[in-house]
């Protein structure tokens, strides 16, 4: 089990950039695949998977953010970052990082085992 804490959420204007960070602690976090999800007020409890990264650096992105968002990890610092560029109002959400032992489980839609508390991003037009 790992503990996750997000930071970096803020309010920005359309076209702006933000960098979210997720710091992991606990049970060997470098051995976990990490994903970023987001949840909007109108989505109920549904969270959209935005980006994920394996322990070895393999990445995958939702079509809605491909080319604008970049996920990366620094295993020495137990940190996973999400660089978000050219932000749009539709990117406004609470962003969560989540961890799972297996990248393929995250890739194929399994629910992560561990979640952070979230950080809010607001993009105004």
Other C-beta atoms closer than 10 Å to the C-beta of 110 total: 11
Per DSSP, the residues of 31-93 read: GSEEEEEEE-GGGTT--EEEEEE-TT--EEE-TTTTTTEEEEEETTTTEEEEEE-S--GGG-E
Instruction: Tell me the pLDDT tens digit for each residue of 62-108.
Output: 999 999 999 999 999 999 999 999 999 999 999 999 999 999 999 99
pLDDT greater than 90 at residue 43: no
């Amino acid at each position: 089990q790992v503990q996750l804490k997000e930071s970096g959420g803020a309010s920005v204007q359309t076209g702006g950039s933000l960098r979210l960070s997720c710091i992991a602690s606990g049970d060997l976090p470098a051995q976990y695949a990490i994903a970023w999800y987001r949840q909007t007020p109108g989505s109920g409890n549904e969270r959209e998977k935005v980006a994920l990264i394996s322990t070895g650096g393999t990445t995958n992105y939702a079509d809605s953010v491909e080319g604008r968002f970049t996920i990366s990890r620094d295993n020495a610092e137990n940190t996973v970052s999400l660089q978000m560029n050219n932000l749009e109002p539709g990117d406004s959400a609470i962003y969560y990082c989540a961890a799972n032992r297996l990248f393929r489980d995250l890739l194929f839609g399994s629910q992560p085992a561990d979640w952070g508390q979230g950080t809010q991003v607001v993009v105004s037009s």
